[in-house]
Amino acid sequence: YDVVSMIAPPNFMQGEPADSLYQLAREAFNRQDYSRAAARFADLIAKYPNSRLVPQSAYYQAFALYRVGTVDALRSALKVLESNASRFEYETRMSKSDAPALHARVLRALADRNEPGVDAKLRDLYAKYPSVSCDQDDVRIKAQVLSSLYQADPDAAMPYIRQNLATRDACNAELRRTAVFLLANRPTAEQTALIVQVAKNDTVRSVRSQAIEVLSRMPGDEAIAALQQFMNDDDERIQAAAVRSLMRSDNPRARAAMRSLIDRRDASERQRLEAIRSFDRDNASPEDAAYLRSLFNRQGESDRIKDAVLSALAQMPSEEN
């Protein structure tokens, strides 16, 4: 969520009195001379307040000030964004989410510098958008604002995260994925329980898959127990996500679960192959390699299983392998 779109100056504005100043400001911006760019965009707005280039200039002035990054520059960026909010709403050459996303990033940067009152501004910005919306611009804006609020004040953001995770509609799927990502960045037993519930109950596969993927980073045995359940899910892609997540976990129970799956003759061969292929140079231990060698020599295993074992062992070069 760290992208702000770069809007090219529209061709039909060539020849406007403000155009040459806009071009100079954009050139400074593209050279990353942000202080000069902000000053030139400000000059354009002051000299040509009725120009159709003003909304874009105000946006880039705020963006340049954000890049300067000092507290004073960030305060100025916030002032520019707040004073031009109505102009941004009617600027058709900008994405609907550009200015609000930048607004959220500026507020987060100020929160990182302990600026008073910023958390309340983030909550107000979040509240501007419907709780459930199928407008993907609205959803993206809320995701950006939620991310900024969580980084600034996790406790203040948690009610919104819980509220989003309680929804099941496809329209808000991006918000739920954002919420899962944020929770995984501050792993606790409470966050683990929330993510497990998403992985079990969400109706959108991409949200479930993301929750399953991040469970490997969550503390405690609850995450591993849930992943073991997901290996038996009716959806094969959910099964595969659970196998990949288990393989990334440092929990000893995860390795035991993987070996148990591979040993199960009643499991599908596809699932067993997925588990074998998840062993590689970065995550396999000498014990894993010894287990795979014993599997290769086991009576009754198919050529496909043995081929997968050889491929895995080839990524762990050693004399025994």
Q: Quick one: pLDDT at residue 293? A: 92
- Residue 116: C-alpha distances to residues 75, 103, 158, 261 (Å): 11, 16, 20, 53
Q: What amino acid occupies position 311?
A: S
Q: Indicate the pLDDT class of residue 279, thresholds 50, 70 and 90.
A: confident
Q: Quick one: pLDDT at residue 250? A: 76
Highest mean pLDDT among 152-161, 198-207, 282-291: 198-207
The predicted-structure confidence for 266-276, as pLDDT tens digits, reads as follows: 778 887 888 88
Convert the chain into a string of H (helix), E (strand) and C (coil): CCCCCCCCCCHHHCCCCCHHHHHHHHHHHHCCCHHHHHHHHHHHHHHCCCCCCHHHHHHHHHHHHHHHCCHHHHHHHHHHHHHCHHHHHCCCCCCCCHHHHHHHHHHHHHHHCCCCCHHHHHHHHHHCCCCCCCCHHHHHHHHHHHHHHHHHCHHHHHHHHHHHHCCCCCCCHHHHHHHHHHHHCCCCHHHHHHHHHHHHHCCCHHHHHHHHHHHHHCCCHHHHHHHHHHCCCCCHHHHHHHHHHHHHCCCHHHHHHHHHHHHCCCCCHHHHHHHHHCCCCCCCCHHHHHHHHHHHCCCCCCHHHHHHHHHHHHCCCCCCC
Q: Quick one: pLDDT at residue 316? A: 86
Q: Quick one: pLDDT at residue 123? A: 87
The predicted-structure confidence for 287-321, as pLDDT tens digits, reads as follows: 888 999 999 999 888 999 999 999 999 988 888 88
The predicted-structure confidence for 77-130, as pLDDT tens digits, reads as follows: 999 999 988 888 766 566 677 888 899 899 989 988 888 988 888 888 888 876
Distance from C-alpha of 36 to C-alpha of 38, rounded to nearest angstrom: 6
pLDDT (average), residues 193-202: 92
Within 8 A by CB and 6+ apart from 147, the residues are: 1, 104, 108, 178, 182
Residue 142 has pLDDT above 80, yes or no: yes
Mean pLDDT of the chain: 85
Q: Quick one: pLDDT at residue 194? A: 93
Backbone angles phi, psi at 284, to 5 degrees: -95, 140
pLDDT (average), residues 47-65: 93
pLDDT (average), residues 182-211: 91
Residue 207 has pLDDT above 90, yes or no: yes
> What percentage of the chain exceeds 70 in pLDDT?
91
Distance from C-alpha of 7 to C-alpha of 13, rounded to nearest angstrom: 14
Q: Which two tokens stand for residue 207?
A: 């949200």
Least confident of 56-60, 186-190, 200-204: 186-190
Q: Quick one: pLDDT at residue 186? A: 86
Least confident of 40-44, 68-72, 220-224: 220-224
- Range 56-70 burial, b when 16+ CB lie within 10 A, else e: bbbbbbbbbbbbeee
Nearest partner of 35 among 1, 9, 70, 3, judged by Cα: 70
Q: Quick one: pLDDT at residue 10? A: 44
Distance from C-alpha of 244 to C-alpha of 94, rounded to nearest angstrom: 40
**Torsion-angle region of 300 (φ positive above 0: left; ψ -120 to 50: alpha; else: beta):** left
- Residue 67: C-alpha distances to residues 36, 72, 102, 218, 319 (Å): 12, 12, 11, 34, 53
Are 146 and 126 in contact by the 8 Å Cβ rule? The answer is yes
The predicted-structure confidence for 18-47, as pLDDT tens digits, reads as follows: 898 999 999 999 999 999 999 999 999 999
Q: Indicate the pLDDT class of residue 155, thresholds 50, 70 and 90.
A: confident
Q: Quick one: pLDDT at residue 42? A: 95
Q: Quick one: pLDDT at residue 3? A: 39
Q: Which residue has the tokens 């009716």?
A: 234
Residue 7 has pLDDT above 50, yes or no: no
Q: Which residue has the tokens 């440092």?
A: 250
pLDDT (average), residues 260-267: 82
Q: Quick one: pLDDT at residue 44? A: 95
Distance from C-alpha of 97 to C-alpha of 151, rounded to nearest angstrom: 20
